[in-house]
Structure 1
Amino acid sequence: MKFTPHTYQQHAIERILDTPYIALLLEMGLGKTVSTLTAIDMLINDYFDVAKVLVIAPLRVADDTWPREVGKWDHLKHLRVSKVLGGAEARRKALRADADIWVINRENVPWLVQEYGSKWPFDMVVVDEMSSFKSHQAKRFKALKRVRPLIKRLVGLTGTPAPNSLMDLWAPIYLIDQGERLGNTITAYRDRYFTPGERDGHIVYHWRQKREAEERIYEAIADVAVSMKAADWLELPERIDRMMPVKLDAKATELYRTLERDLLLEYVDADVVAASAAVLSNKLLQMASGTVYDEQRGMKWIHDAKLDALEDIIEAANGKPVMLFYNFKHSLARIQQRFPQARILRKGRDGNDDIAAWNNNEIPLLLLHPQSAGHGLNLQESSCQTVVWFDQIWSLEYEQQANARVHRQGLRQSVVIIKLIAEGTMDMDAAAALERKAAGQEELMQALKARIDKIKAG
């Protein structure tokens, strides 16, 4: 297929070429993979600036998306890709392959750094979904930080740079500039832009932004962070977001209130116990969806209200495919039992076959977990117009990435995204929390957004 870059893609390519270390905050659907690969090809074969490129990505994206994009476009087919996946020996064999680009899943970054040490061979590194390096305590961040001085070029890609708060920006930006803009340590970053909030002794559980902290942070990273929003460039069919209230019956409501109040539901065989606030929150979300785990990991049925609502939604789809996101295994089991036609997205090559079947409208109800289907999957070619969130989650990043599997470039029809919200439950709190996070994310993207009018005019 011939690649004719859109204006925003050409801008992204030029920024990669011109800026050795850069964060491209490209919203879903803007073709960040092909833009990055085009820049890589030019740096290798036109500029002779790099020789070995490492791409770090979520497992499924490393296994399928990057190699597939190379094979898809005529101008990239000469690039050789080696997948550093599987067991240790398979990974070592892949590293010895004669290639231009090596792709590895992010979980194996510590292994890769240990494998090479100071003899790090990759002069360019691309971190796909840079937000997955937001924890300064994670092994993957510490490992990449160790070899960062040996990297000649680094590109960070994400559509959600600060999925929870601006605190998440420090670690990814450190990988870009080694602390030049936001401080050499997370402590320095906190001291400069935040004040301690809730704490227990010396442990601070929440940090509050100082006045004008956002503006100062945006200004500090503006030269190495380019933000582009899909809405500014793509004329996508309409996306409609709906919260569908689901009413629980009196018995289910009583059980829910009992656990909420007493932290205990007593059963003959095994009780349901919430030993902490975090456990209670999780179990209340489970109950809102209809089932909850007991102490023996058995399932205690609470209600079928969401299954009944889902049945109505499927009927209203009039035979068109429906995509559904679930968070709990017991929700998956109950959905499969009620709807035998449902299919889950499998792993590896089987998963690639599932994607093709879905895009050919051969799967009437596709069941996805947001963590395994959140990045890099192209599922927009089906005639699906209905996306359902059966369980509610707390992660804005997972929700945005998951919704973008359908509402992205190539979509031909409008999409309705429905959240099933059990009335008077933790579902409502989770949905409200994501709305607040989304507002903060929007402010960040707007503050760093490329000067689109100037780019378009040029």
Structure 2
Amino acid sequence: MNKTEREQVRRLVADFTQWGQQAAYVQGWHRAVQDAASSSERDLRSRSVDITRAGQAAWRVIPLEMRDADVVRYLWERATLPATTADDHALLRLLIEDVPRAIADVGPSLSLRRFFAGSAKKQSADAAGEFLRHQHAAIIGGGGPRRLEQLGVVTAPVDPARLGFEALLDPDLLFDLVSRRTGSEPEVVDRTVVEGLSEALAVIDKVVASEALYRSAARDAGEKVRRAEVQRILREMPVEALKTATRDRLRVGALSQAGIRTVQEVLNQRWSLQMLPGVGETSAWRMLGAAQTLWQTTYDEMPVRIDINSRLPETTHLLRCLADWDASRQTRGASGDLERAAELAPLRTAVRDETSHLLVIPTRMLAAAGFLESIQIVKRRAELLGGSFASGPNSVGADPWDDFLARPADYFAMLSELGFITEDENKVHGDLPEEIIKAVRDQALSGEHLTASLRGYQSFAARFALVQRKVIIGDEMGLGKTVEAIAVLAHLRSRGEAHFLVVCPAAVVTNWVREVSSKSKLRAHRVHGPDRDRAARTWVRDGGVAVTTYETLAWWEPALKELRDLACIVVDEAHYIKNPQARRTIRTNQLIARSERAILLTGTPLENKVDEFRNLASYVRSDLAVDATELSPRTFRRQIAPAYLRRNQEDVLTELPELIEIEEWLPMSSADTAHYRAAVERGNFMEMRQAAMLQGSKSEKGQRLIEIVREARENERRVIVFSYFRDVLSLVVRSLPGQVFGPLTGSVPASKRQQIVDQFSSAKHGAVLVSQIMAGGVGLNIQSASVVVICEPQLKPTTEAQAIARAHRMGQVQSVQVHRLLSEDSVDQRIIELLAGKKQLFNDFARVSDMADSTPEAVDLSEADLAREVVAAERRRLAERASVET
């Protein structure tokens, strides 16, 4: 290497030294920024809190402090670092690793040491020089110096002081928790949104803990009742029953000889059994094992019963504990709010005094607004609770049985909540497909505006209505369809909706107003009667629940068309609109179409023809309209399942007392017979139906009715007497002894009907309520009565079922006796025979049934057709009898 070459290499080394310093700076700077950003991400991730909803992560919340401004800066610096390519990495590696080695190799040739270097050293120096010359030219040719300058300067310089926490939302920042999210848009919110949350959670915890003490006491009292009942049963179970509980051969004769007669006595003598003559240690253990098996089996199958005819001390104690728990339950109806509180509980320790902001990152398709709404719900619930129960619950008085008899349904709801009354989960779902059941289970139900306790099946119905939006709830009469609908309205109110409408028969307007007021915090407006104008204006202005009638809709229709925010319409006794051509159907259906949601309530969706049921379904889901002509019941129910939920009393009200139905076949007196024959000759069907009662107390039916009323008074029961005919009711009122209320007929104003029912319910035992079956058999709750008398068979099985359900319904604590007064060899017998098909039709299509094939038209029969058939049959029968007698 000559002098000129050495000078050239020295210039190259000077350039490479400068470039190497630049490369080392770039690499160090990039690495420091990346490390600081990654460390910041790890720190934020470690402080994050997962907020769940329905068991799944819904939001990730990161508390932010002022010191986290540096975190934002680090992330921003990383985001604004010049992007490096593979060529950039190769350049940096060359200048930082390869070039320094070449400079070290070429060094000896540039100093006096070259005179003492061997040939190998000189060859290595020459190669290094050549390498430097080649790489220098390549770097210069590729714009390396300019690229080094670019790699050492941020791409978007900004004043760090101007970077706020909102920068974390910038996707260019590449904050991994934000950039890799799978939910909705994240938000940064001020800490003021959680101000007071910790205190609110503390209030709720304190209230829940206080309630838990009363709940625990009620549960313990229920267990005592349950165990006492098991003990009573085992005290009456003979020792021979031990043989049924084990495969071992037991010889129980030794027990009988020792005076041990029952299974409970075996348990009482458990430690001394093997001491008995003829009983060894092995036999004693087998006997005791069998007795314990019988105890456990009996216990597992034993519900907690409340028998008003056997007021045992442990049952009285249970009622008092339930009353105390109920009085202490400020969180009743707030299960949804309590769920929100449990979800937010992790924030109590995560949010500190230094916290200034919260970064809310949705992890599912739930907006950050849902998280903020949960906070407001919890704060509002804490305000409503207002603290713990320093003074304890209010007493129910000296005798808790009085409170129980005044509101038995509430007590049964509490027993159900404690698990003492169980429900079959499959039967709670009715005939719904699995995908709808899953959606209903996932639906939350807010209880913020609800004050009633819901049974499990009632909560399911309310959530079904929320999920499916427009539905028919066809629960059997007496299951509480009213409170199911009110629960839906209360939930919607908690979501900001304001205007709800109930359309019902006039007879139940008063009952609806009462139920809305007593079971929710919603305001009820009676848009019916003389004050309807004022009530309608107030409802439009303030919102709430407007309760009106099918007839009043004609007056109100123009104003309702102007209302734009009808959140939900409830149509009670929806079978009133089964005829699509009727004016009231058209008016109601227009409101259903305009409303966001609709709930049609009816225990009898099908009275005569399957087409009527199909009409109701088409009002809420026009896409479900089906041709039922050749349709099997199973297929029909499957097709309307998205809009129809039906549960029966025996499926979900396991505590409901027995329903005893008695057909009282009676001969006709001579006067009854003469009147009946004359009606047949005239072909007067309606007169034929009531002929056996028109002689009053002289008729056989009349005399039997008086006997039933006397027996009821002796047994401390109240009686309802139903007939279709007003003349019959008038005769009954004049003939019966004691307190008689009514007759309750269609001409009695709706408010007066409820007043009559209230007076009857508070009257002494033996009181009688006389009612036209079409007026008192719909909507009214008369569970104070436990004896029902139907004076003549009705032309629709559903009419009788509705009437019976006025007494045999949730809250009834006595067995219900139903007496059907029937005349032998008369129109009564013909009607019962012809209506058997109608009843089967309802069971097949409207009620869950395993029947798979039926032809609806085979049993569809109009009332006019039925009348003609019966009159003709009776004329033939009487003519044949007269011929035989002659």
For Structure 1 versus Structure 2, the TM-score category normalised by the shorter chain is 0.7 to 0.9
Instruction: Quickly say closer, same or farther: Cα 1:408–1:302, change in 2 above 3 A.
Output: closer
Asked whether 1:41 is paired with 2:490, we answer yes
The partner residue of 2:463 within 6, 14, 18 is 14
Checking the alignment, whether the CA contact within 8 Å between 2:606 and 2:846 is kept in structure 1 is no
Q: Within 1, Cα distance between the matches of 2:841 and 2:571? A: 23
Residue by residue over 1:73-117, the C-alpha shift from the partner in whole angstroms, topping out at 9 and shown as x without a partner, is 3xx1x3111111014xx3232111123110101222233324444
Q: Which residue in the other structure is 1:343 paired with?
A: 741
The code of the aligned residue for 1:182 comes to: A
Q: Is the 8 A contact 1:218 1:444 kept in 2?
A: yes
Question: What's the counterpart of residue 504 of structure 2?
Answer: 57
Distance 1:339 1:255, change over 3 A: closer
Partner of 2:841: 440
CA-to-aligned-CA distance 1:246-271 (integer Å, 9 cap, x gap): 211345324423432x32xxxxxxxx
**Structure 1 residue 398: Cα displacement:** 2.3
In the alignment, which residue of structure 2 is the partner of 1:357?
759
- Structure-1 residue corresponding to 2:802: 401
1:313 matched to 2:682? The reply is no
Per-residue CA deviation, residues 368-405 of structure 1 (Å, 9 max, x unaligned), is: 1111112222211x3x4321111332133322111111
Distance 1:112 1:217, change over 3 A: farther
Corresponding position of 1:23: 472
Over 3 Å counting, the alpha-carbon distance change for 1:334 and 1:181 in structure 2 is same
Whole-Å separation in 1 of the counterparts to 2:588 and 2:751 = 29
**Which is strand-richer, 1 or 2?**
1
In the alignment, what sits opposite 1:376?
A: 779
More displaced stretch, 240-249 vs 91-100 = 91-100
Q: Determine the structure 1 residue equivalent to 2:605.
A: 161
Alignment of structure 1 residues 405-420 onto 2, 5 Å: 405-420=806-821
The alignment status of 1:228 with 2:618, answered yes or no, reads no
Q: Deviations over 1:259-301 (max 9, x none)?
A: 32x32xxxxxxxxxx4xxxxx221210213336xxxxxxxxx8
Equivalent-residue separation in structure 2 for 1:223 and 1:10 (angstroms): 17
Measured after TM superposition, the shift of residue 357 of structure 1 is 3.0
Letter in 1 for 2:721: L
Instruction: Show the counterpart of 2:512.
Output: 66
2:715 aligned with 1:285: no
The normalised TM-score by structure 1 is 0.78
Pairwise CA distance, 1:53:
0.8
Specify which structure has the higher proportion of helix.
Answer: 2
Cα shift readout 1:9-41 (whole Å, capped 9, x = no counterpart): 110111121111111111122221112111111
Tell me the residue number matched to 1:322. 719
Residues 350/149 of structure 1: CA separation in 2 closer, same or farther (3 Å cut): closer
**Residue 432 and residue 115 in structure 1: after superposition, are their counterparts in 2 closer, same or farther (change >3 A)?**
farther
8 Å Cα contact 1:25-1:159 kept in structure 2: yes
Q: Distance in 2 between matches of 1:386 and 1:444?
A: 30
1:193 maps to 2:628 = yes
Question: Whole-Å Cα distance in 2 between the matches of residues 68 and 416 of structure 1?
Answer: 28
Q: Secondary structure at the match of 1:256?
A: helix
Q: 2-side partners of 1:377 and 1:173: how far apart?
A: 25
Counterpart-to-counterpart distance in 1, 2:490 and 2:750 = 27
1:421 alignment partner, SS class: strand
Query: What is the distance in 2 between the residues matched to 1:112 and 1:214?
Result: 39
- Assess if the C-alpha contact under 8 Å between 2:669 and 2:699 holds in 1: no
Contact 2:517 2:524 in 1 (8 A): no
Superposed CA offset, 1:136-188 (max 9, x none): 221111122334432211111111110222121132112211x32115xxxxx
SS, match of residue 23 in structure 1 = strand
**Which one has a bigger Cα radius of gyration?**
2
- Give 1:224's aligned amino acid: A
Residue in 1 that maps onto 2:241: none
- Decide which of 107, 110, 129 is 2:554's aligned counterpart: 110
Distance apart, 1:434 and its partner CA: 4.3
Q: Distance in 2 between matches of 1:374 and 1:249?
A: 29
Superposition map of 1:123-272 within 5 A: 123-177=567-621, 179-182=622-625, 192-194=627-629, 210=630, 212-234=631-653, 235-260=655-680, 262-263=681-682
Q: Is the 8 A contact 2:721 2:771 kept in 1?
A: yes
> Does the aligned pair in 2 maintain the 1:287–1:302 contact within 8 Å?
no
- Give the 3-state SS of the residue equivalent to 1:408 in structure 2: coil
2:700 and 2:657 map into 1 onto residues whose CA distance is: 31
Deviations 1:227-252 (A, max 9, x none): 11111111211101111012113453
Point out the more displaced range, 12-21 or 106-115: 106-115
Give distance in 1, aligned partners of 2:796 and 2:847: 21
Please tell me whether the aligned partners of residues 246 and 420 of structure 1 are also in contact (alpha carbons under 8 angstroms).
yes
- Counterpart position of 2:534: 93
Distance of 1:243 and 1:14 partners within structure 2:
40
User: Secondary structure in 1 aligned to 2:828?
Assistant: helix
Aligned to 2:806, the other structure's residue is in SS state coil
Aligned length: 389
Unaligned regions of 5+ residues in structure 1, if any? 184-191, 195-209, 264-273, 275-279, 292-300, 450-458
| Structure 1 residues 54 and 424: alpha-carbon distance in aligned structure 2, compared to 1, 3 A threshold | same
- Aligned equivalents of 1:60, 1:22: Cα separation in 2: 24
- State the distance in 1 between where 2:568 and 2:849 align: 24
3-state SS of the aligned residue for 1:447? Answer: coil
Secondary structure of the corresponding residue to residue 623 of structure 2: coil
Q: Give, as a single letter, the amino acid of the residue that structure 2 aligns with 1:159.
A: G
- In 1, the alpha carbon distance for the partners of 2:793 and 2:830 equals 9
Structure 1 vs Structure 2: percent identity of aligned residues? 25
Q: Partner residue of 1:429?
A: 830
CA distance in structure 1 between the partners assigned to 2:809 and 2:553 by the alignment = 29
Check conservation: 1:228, 1:445, Cα contact below 8 A.
no
d(CA) in 2 for partners of 1:146, 1:170: 17
Residue 333 (str. 1) matches residue 723 (str. 2):
no
Match of 2:699 in 1: 304
SS at match of 2:579: coil
Q: Which runs of 5+ in 2 are unaligned?
A: 1-325, 327-331, 333-451, 851-886
Supply the distance in 1 between the matched residues of 2:689 and 2:772 (Cα, whole angstroms).
16
SS in 2 for 1:392: coil
